Chain A
């Protein structure tokens, strides 16, 4: 990480610091860097910034670095951090808010982070269309968009043999109502792909 001028960064990114506080509803400024969140995080080993550093970066207004980080996508939302924080900061909520902001900001994730976003979009794409998750459609979309064409290909046959693969998409009377939910949220917020 480059050296940053703390005062400058906080002044320049005051809006961002405020917005994350409001969006996540979390008292981010209370964090005193005890590191308990990072100690318990099951995926910290593969993050570019561990959880407690993310909170510090929010305090310092480091918007660009955060929205580009893979951390906000790798976070599995297991809430171990949120449960253990002595300052009652739900770190997982902060991660979510950063992820949503990155999506709206058009900051494209790369590598491992991109695979997570692709999976989200593939899953929600089937929900918007059919009203429920269509597992086969999800995997196909996921593989096309991630470029990992054979991802999960070895699952197909064993799943099918056990009657666990529904080849046809789900049929829901209210599928149009579910599509409407997506449309309404888009109207209000924009950004949801």
Chain B
């Protein structure tokens, strides 16, 4: 398994645990992630509100570079980057006029030969036996609420690899890691994404509903597959507590962190110590 890898702008900032745990888990699975040289921002979550052309052209530059790598498949961890890359890829492969127009804008020739996969799909399609073979510290008894959010599974004409209403890819991976996953109602409810920056008072109401639903079902922790979902559900728990008088402190992990923990990778290497919610208990139990 070899992929051209798109890290996304949060890779060494707010999403650095995702980046670290992605590489650690990929290594265990023999998955080679070759970073797209000089990749640039995909435009999320702003260009879609400014111009249809800009929204395709920004990710198209990185797609053109990736195509030149001769690998054939691109993957990225961030759900928003995935959406942008997959959307631009679809528009450019389906419509020659758009492709030519965008190639003129970027000054780079993208022929439209790539497949774009989310990291959830890329790891989720690995032979379950190969994943199980790496599990040395199973997460026995851990109740996980897998949260997919929006852009990973919607709209299905762009994403399509998992069910848009009741996705199971992350659940299945968590089960392979020995955890128990919950059947809960807010798997794909929106966390507000960048409303957390522009209008936090709106976002906290969305975040609150998601946290509440997970906790009511008895979740010990949540797993996510997007740095923005993580920022909103992890960091902003304290904003919810402050604005709505709640008292949340539920750990929120990237799915790669928990997979990595079950594979015996150290919590330090995975980034488990830089969260804003309490992660010590789970590290003590399984780390």
Contact = CB atoms under 8 A, between A and B. Distances in A.
Interface residues of B, number: 53
B57 interface: yes
Given A78-B154, A118-B198, A192 B13 contact: no
Grouping DSSP codes into helix (H, G, I), strand (E, B) and loop, the A interface class, with mixed when no group exceeds half, is helix
B193 interface: yes
Contact of A123 (B46, B200, B276): B46
A15 interface: no
Contacts of B52: 23, 96-97, 100
A92 B155 contact: yes
Grouping DSSP codes into helix (H, G, I), strand (E, B) and loop, the B interface class, with mixed when no group exceeds half, is loop
B153 to A, nearest CB: 8
B57 A185 contact: yes
Given A79-B154, A83-B156, A164-B13, A120 B61 contact: no
B202 A96 contact: no
A178 interface: yes
Contacts of B70: none
Given A163-B274, A181-B57, A79 B150 contact: yes
Contact of B199 (A112, A127, A133, A177): A112
A17 to B, nearest CB: 18
Contact of B43 (A23, A77, A127): A127
Given A99-B49, A127-B41, A173-B38, 10 more contacts: A43-B206, A45-B205, A77-B48, A103-B50, A119-B198, A120-B47, A133-B10, A162-B274, A165-B13, A178-B40
Interface of A: 23, 42-43, 45-46, 73-74, 76-80, 82-83, 90, 92, 96-97, 99-100, 103, 112, 115-121, 123-124, 127, 131-133, 135, 138-139, 142, 146, 151-152, 155, 158-159, 162-166, 170, 172-175, 177-178, 180-182, 184-185, 188-189, 191-193
Interface of B: 9-10, 12-14, 16, 38, 40-41, 43, 45-54, 57-58, 61, 104-108, 149-151, 154-156, 164-165, 188-190, 192-195, 197-200, 202, 205-206, 235, 274, 276
